[in-house]
Amino acid sequence: MSTSVVLPALGESVTEGTVTRWLKQVGDTVETDEGLLEISTDKVDTEIPSPVSGVIEEILVQEDETVEVGAVLAKIGDGSGAPAGDAAPESVPDEAAAPAAEAEPAEQAPAETAPEPAAAPAASGGKDVVLPELGESVTEGTVTRWLKQVGDDVAVDEPLLEISTDKVDTEIPSPFAGTLQEILVQEDETVEVGAALARIGDGAPAEAAPQPESAPAAEAAPAAEDAPAQEPEPEKAPAPAQEPEKAPAPAPEPASVQEPAPAAGVASSADDATPYVTPLVRRLAQQQGVDLTQVTGTGVGGRIRKEDVLKAAEAPAASAPETAAAPARREPVVSELRGTTQPMSRLRKVIAERAVASMQATAQLTTVVEVDVTRLSAFRDAVKADFHSKTGDKLSFLPFFAVAAVEALQQFPIINATVDGNDIVYPAMENISIAVDTERGLLTPVVKDAGGKNLAQFAREIADLAARTRDNKLKPDELAGGTFTLTNTGSRGALFDTPIVFLPQSAILGLGAVVKKPGVVTVDGKDAISVRSYVYLALSYDHRIIDGADAARFLGAVKARLEAAEFEADLGI
């Protein structure tokens, strides 16, 4: 049984590669991790190592040919593939293999049956799942969470575990189907790219293996007894090689050999029922609603290409209106206020009056920056459990933004200033108003003297103020005295808005939702695309005393503080 060598993932944005040179040829013996060929992509030139030891039986992609990631490049066997074709020694056309088979005709039959049972224990022993390359400069990763446990069955491309690196946090899918037999790297352990993470096998072959072992005990006679009706057929036509090959076909050995084939699913082999499908094509099929089992592949070895998926997606398009009409219409949620007239509450009148007065008395505009909070998100995830156990408070992103904003206010106090006639007043402290959404309307309780407060203090005071605001238990002075406001519009999923500055303050910072999306990062002087976490920060300010350059400097300081994510000394636990 042969193993397929596929073009591995060589980077998140790399979808194809060109074979520049084969380092081995058909018939050469190779060892595991020995260089097989050289591949060139638009991001990297590298050698592709052999995933197994054996003999190169076939090269499927020639030099200068370009193929997609996941395409089968070659097939490697254990050397038994050639003798297997010489089961009929009379067939002289098998050239060099024929004399080798004829040298010991009496021992050839046992020798051929031996490799087949040997394949079963190999499958039951499992194949290793290794940490793949996750970027050009990423050399190691930390296991953050196992999504499967020992004994669980997994399918091809089903997520196995989550990995965290300094560039990306991602799931590692299973490269083949089978049963998770062993976890080799525990959670929170860090390993290098290429290290074995787990072992996946078939599970069944371990029990099936003893059956072939019993066969050699009576190989000469039972082999003939297993197919008495077919024995005369080779005698009637001894010359053709097909007749002897049909005799072993109904024997139990092929069944045990075929069981490991799905488990080996690193790539499609000649015995696979379903060709290999790249993650890109599988994701496209999911997006298009295409059943891959119903698609006929036109790629190498019947591999399904993205063009095949797109073509299959066009067929059901015509019937889509009929299937869409079948489900019952989803009834929208209708508020009881629809079609009514309600008087403004006292709080709503106050907010309306203050908003209009602020807009008429000030010259307001908004500046927005995008902040990469990937490191901050990883730091928060790493400490939030310990933080909660020691403080009793959840560690959201808001305390981090508050600490960064207060430090920037101390550096650029104009953002914290107020207007008094023709004078600019610079307060001696930073009193941070926190916008809280309640059933009665928007209220802004104040964290007093916020300069120097750590994350634990901010988390405690914000949680306390928000709870008492919603329960209408605030004291009047807890709503007064704010010099700068934070409004977390991202808590409801908004990317950003242009918040209104309420007098007498001169600025308000809107915090958008933290979202993951592709981003360009520079690694070793080269640009690469990685999954990053981003947030938009929108600063609205009174242009009477704050210029755009002042706003940009303030936002730049907040951005630098958050992207550095150096908050270990600010935890307060």
Catalytic site positions:
543, 547
Q: DSSP per residue over 314-362, as a string? A: HGGGTTHHHHHHSSPPPPPP--TTTT---PPPHHHHHHHHHHHHHHHHS
Decide if 42 contacts 527 (C-beta within 8 A).
no
**How far is residue 110 from each of residues 4, 104, 160, 220, measured CA to CA in Å?**
27, 11, 40, 9
Decide if 261 contacts 271 (C-beta within 8 A).
yes
Residue 114 CA to chain centroid, in angstroms? 41
Q: Could you give the strand order of the β-sheet that contains 54-59, starting from the edge strand earlier in sequence?
A: 3-6, 72-77, 54-59, 29-30
DSSP secondary-structure letter at 204?
A: S
Q: Angle at which helices 455-470 and 374-391 pack, to 10 degrees? A: 70
Contacts (Cβ under 8 Å, ≥6 apart) of 399: 455, 458, 459, 462
Find, among 248, 538, 254, the residue nearest to 371 by Cα.
538
Count of Cβ atoms closer than 10 Å to residue 339 Cβ: 7
Decide if 512 contacts 537 (C-beta within 8 A).
yes
Structure tokens at 528: 């690469």
CA–CA distance, 58 with 122 (Å, rounded to integer): 22
CA–CA distance, 5 with 264 (Å, rounded to integer): 11
Residue 394 CA to chain centroid, in angstroms? 26
Structure tokens at 385: 């459990």
Structure tokens at 428: 């001696």
Decide if 74 contacts 3 (C-beta within 8 A).
no
Residue 354 CA to chain centroid, in angstroms? 47
Find, among 300, 363, 248, 380, the residue nearest to 60 by Cα.
300
Q: Which amino acid is at 387?
A: F
In 3-state terms, what secondary structure has residue 454?
coil
Q: Is the peptide bond before 327 cis (omega within 30 degrees of 0)?
A: no
CA–CA distance, 96 with 225 (Å, rounded to integer): 32
Q: What DSSP element (H or E) covers 423?
A: strand 423-425
Helical segments of 427-514, H only: 455-470
Diameter over CA atoms, the chain:
115
129, HSE (Cβ side, Cα atoms, 13 Å)? 29
Contacts (Cβ under 8 Å, ≥6 apart) of 38: 19, 20, 21, 23, 45, 46, 47, 48
294, HSE (Cβ side, Cα atoms, 13 Å)? 10
CA–CA distance, 371 with 302 (Å, rounded to integer): 45
